[in-house]
Amino acid sequence: SFQQSPENVHIIGHSLGSHLAAEAGRRTPGLGRITGLDPAEPYFQGCPILVRLDPSDALFVDVIHSDALPMIPYLGFGMSQAVGHLDFYPNGGESMPGCDKNLISQIVDIDGIWEGTRDFAACNHLRSYKYYSDSILNPEGFLGYSCTNEAMFESGQCFPCTSSSPCPFMGHHADKFKVHNGAEKLKFYLNTGDSLPFSRYRYRVTVTIDGSNTNRGYFKVALYGVNGNTRQYEIHKGTLSPGKTYKLLIDVETEVDELTHVKFIWNNNILNPLLPKFGATQITVERGRDQKTFKFCGNEKVRENVLQTLSSC
């Protein structure tokens, strides 16, 4: 005997291992936690709770779905069915970014024939445990937003986190989230990167532009903060209208923390003898994790491919 209470035990299972963990939970009343990493779908999806993972198998059950396309005809190995107290669907839970590479690319990226071949054959299915591993040191980069489905998440209807709709961490730190009144099968959505580090941080960027006249083109914004800066993210492509405001949710690769300034750049890739100028008059950035809003103002217009820096206002 290890003189440990069952409630202090945490079992992590991948694929079929998720359902084996469930069986252990059924045989061990009061088991503390089970983490299901893309629980296997074939012969388990839609089956009775006695043969698959279920919230009743432990005091706390959290699940990461990463390969939830149907087994036939898409060869999805994981379940789409919510089977935990908290169910996370990164990137919609079906097709993971970075999993569309060919075999040679996978081998080069992973730096090994065995790992590369495994990733090529079951990349989506294996992403769940890689997300979990990455979440240990980067919990805030795996914040899940409470949503009914992926479409609502992508449209921004579930943004930001609020006191009435708090956001748990997907992965190792999921148990910091308090489940109230026996709630279960709560669905959370988030986006990840396509390679390590997979962590991403969600912001809503709102940009009001000014210019000499309406033009075609696109513009990008980069965020700068006390912890560094992000790459440039395209906020809008199409007609650029002076005085109009554009919004976009972005998932950035760097936790910049407190924002200090932002940079704006535009382009239309067309040789225009009139040398049009555009600029951002105001950029507002709302942080997903706590609703904090940063506002930046500018009063200049720049030619294409020239950076404009906006300061706090």
Which of the residues are catalytic? 15, 38, 125
Closest C-alpha to 167, from 187, 137, 192 = 187
Residue 281: both structure tokens together: 């008059």
Tell me if residue 58 falls in helix, strand or coil. Answer: coil
Closest C-alpha to 191, from 103, 131, 264, 265 = 131
Each residue of 240-254: b (16+ CB within 10 Å) or e? bebeeebeebbbbeb
Distance CA 67, CA 89 (A): 9
Query: Cβ distance 235 to 248 under 8 Å?
Result: yes
CA distances from 91 to 58, 64, 66, 146, 191 (A): 26, 11, 8, 14, 5
Between β-strands 201-211 and 245-252, what pairing exists: parallel, antiparallel or unpaired? antiparallel
Tell how many helices (H) and how many strands (E) occur in the chain: 5, 16
Q: Is 170 left (phi over 0), alpha (psi -120 to 50) or beta?
A: beta
